[in-house]
Homo-oligomer: A and B are copies of this chain.
Amino acid sequence: MTTEEAQRRTSGVSATTATSTGEFGIANPARSTAWAGAVQAGARVLPEHARSHNRALVLQALFRAEGLSRADLAREVGLTRVTISDLISDLINENLVIELGVRTDSRPGKPATMLDINRNGFVVVGLDLSFNSRFRGAVTNLDGTVLHREELDVTGVTGTEAVEATALILERLVAAATAPILGVGVGSPGIVDATGTVLSAPNLGWKDLPLQQILSMRAQLPVQVANDANIAALAERTFGGGGADMMLVRAGRGVGSGLIVGGQQVYGSGSAAGEIGHVMVGTDGGDTCVCGKSGCLETWLAIPRIEARLANATTEAEREAILREAGERLGIATAPIVGALNLGEVVLSGPSELIDGPLIAAAADTLRDRTMAEFVGDLSVRMTTLGRDIIVLGAVVMVLTGQLGVY
């Protein structure tokens, strides 16, 4: 049997994904069950792929609406009760699904046995490398509920040292896990390709760093690495009520974004989708940017820049004008994107004391003024509700998608 065939024969997620003893080194390698992987152009479909797709559908349905019976699932997914029973039997054996007992409400017919994803039977480890001077991480259950946190100061740490720091915080999180670890998700700044290689992350001094491979080898766990803003968009989509056509803009030290188009994450031709920080805004100049150009979105919207301007503001009106201008510039930059993609939502993530107020209001006004009302009539511009944990939650979504096919 060839390697490829062996892989093809492997389906499902083994229930023994990782030991919960906390050893940093015992678990199964990364592997994808997701249907998405099989749908790529040129990929044939075998019966077993159909099975894992249907299996993912069942998990998705259970994930979204707890308290479903086998019969409910059959109606929801469109398969027969027989097939659902068979799939559920597998999932129960793998400890991914549990029976909650019989339905209590009074209805004719045999009472249903309620099912749910075993939300506490596995945990996910999420890492957020996007902060300037500290790495953050958390252990969560499958709902994204944080069970344990770790932080690590990394001021001035770059290159290999930064990799070691990442491995260290991961090790601590793995040790803190109280249930088998389904997988590890990492949100990194910079450009990250589909294989989890950090092509470029200037702040961390990383270039062509195969972070996913490194961490996966070290932890012996399935690891997935993606850009922080992209991962935030995933989180908003799954946990924040984000729609199928959505943009998440993240303002921090720089400005980045993640895009969901047609329900799918956008990666871009060079894995650099969402990088809007250095797109010039308007035709009337602006401050000089670190990149050499003038009037980049970052010069208007990066938090340090806003804070510097606000430091000179003496009155509340001045303060508001500064924030409104930042919002306007965001609106100017995103209007063509919103129009071209016919987005339904623009979600902002960042320090709410700065963003949630005049800034976001001005962005919404500007967006509406500069696009065609007929097309963007029901555009929603809002803050994320996920707060500072958004990257960690995105990591959960990545792992759920990668390991279970849930999204």
Contacts and interface: CB of A to CB of B under 8 A. Distances in A.
B344 A270 contact: yes
A339 interface: yes
A322 interface: no
A342 B271 contact: yes
Contacts of A369: 280, 293
B342 A270 contact: yes
A269 B342 contact: yes
A245 B262 contact: no
A276 to B, nearest CB: 5
B343 A44 contact: no
Interface residues on A, range: 35 or more
A332 B46 CA distance: 47
Contacts of A102: none
A311 interface: no
B336 A375 contact: no
Contact of A269 (B266, B291, B344): B344
A301 to B, nearest CB: 13
Contacts of A43: 57, 78
B54 A370 contact: no
B50 A47 contact: yes
A275 interface: yes
A376 to B, nearest CB: 8
A283 B282 contact: yes
Contacts of A79: 44
14 contacts: A35-B39, A43-B78, A262-B267, A268-B342, A268-B343, A269-B345, A270-B344, A271-B342, A273-B340, A275-B375, A276-B340, A279-B340, A284-B284, A291-B372
- A-B complex: 7 closest residue pairs judged by Cβ atoms: A268-B342, A269-B344, A282-B283, A245-B269, A45-B50, A278-B372, A272-B375
